Amino acid sequence: MGSTDDQFKTGGKSKGRPICFAGSDLGDKCHVCAFFNSRDDEYRALIPFISEGIERGEKIVHTIDPERREDHLARLHAEGLDAAHLERTGQFELRTWSNTHLAGGKFDPVRTLSLFEDVVKKAKQEGYPLIRFVTHMEWALMDKPGIDELLEYEAKANAIWMQQSGPVNPVICTYDLTRFSGETVIDVMRTHPMTVIGGVLQENPFFVPPEDFIHELRERRTGSGRR
């Protein structure tokens, strides 16, 4: 694709077109926590979102569990998506936790946010009108980060999302409800303006602005806030 930053700023092929996920229009609130009870439910929502981006010539970036790589590719292939071809052309980028969130064997939120900012810059330089991110969040259960680090990371990522100008790159953070505690699910919801529960996309009434949520987390650490 051509390397024109102006094309990205004006939306390129995506200009004026709604972004759909879980059967609804995301609008301009494109940071979503999507909770699923099974992989079948997860991919039922993800595949149309991925396919739509590919058809529009957008960049697709997935970050997944290394142990789920083959299953992930098989599910894409079963839906007629030629992931191998898309990887060769550069339109599809498949990452694992080991070279993103857990690079070097530990979670560094600053490094991870910087890495994804670099991914966005590169895609813009390559002329992609938009980047659609999908991230499986179970890396946070691998005894690497504390849960507060995950929550602060999500809040900071949301702050970066809110500062974007022009077309907003949608970010879908998927959570396996069978693996996360109810308390964590509630806190995760508070860091995302949109949520998917039961396969339904909705504006999140529990969303807390990033700066307020980060302040609350820091109060918790000192024992002065609610737990």
6-20, 43-57, 131-145: least confident range: 6-20
For the segment 90-101, the average pLDDT, to the nearest whole number, is: 93
Domain chopping of the chain, boundaries:
30-222
Give the whole-angstrom CA distance, residue 155 versus residue 209.
8
pLDDT digits (tens, 9 = 90+) for 101-145: 888 888 888 888 889 989 999 999 999 999 999 999 998 887 655
Give the whole-angstrom CA distance, residue 19 versus residue 145.
32
Give the whole-angstrom CA distance, residue 14 versus residue 24.
17
24-33, 56-65, 143-152, 205-214: least confident range: 143-152
Would you place residue 22 in the very low, low, confident or very high pLDDT band (cuts 50, 70, 90)?
very high
The CATH class for the domain spanning 30-222 reads: alpha beta
Calculate what percentage of the chain has a pLDDT beyond 90.
50
R_g over Cα of the chain: 17
66-70, 97-101, 117-121, 215-219: least confident range: 215-219
Contact of 194 with 201, CB cutoff 8 Å: yes
- The mean of the pLDDT values for the chain is 84
Would you place residue 203 in the very low, low, confident or very high pLDDT band (cuts 50, 70, 90)?
very high
Residue 189 has pLDDT above 60, yes or no: yes
pTM of structure: 0.84
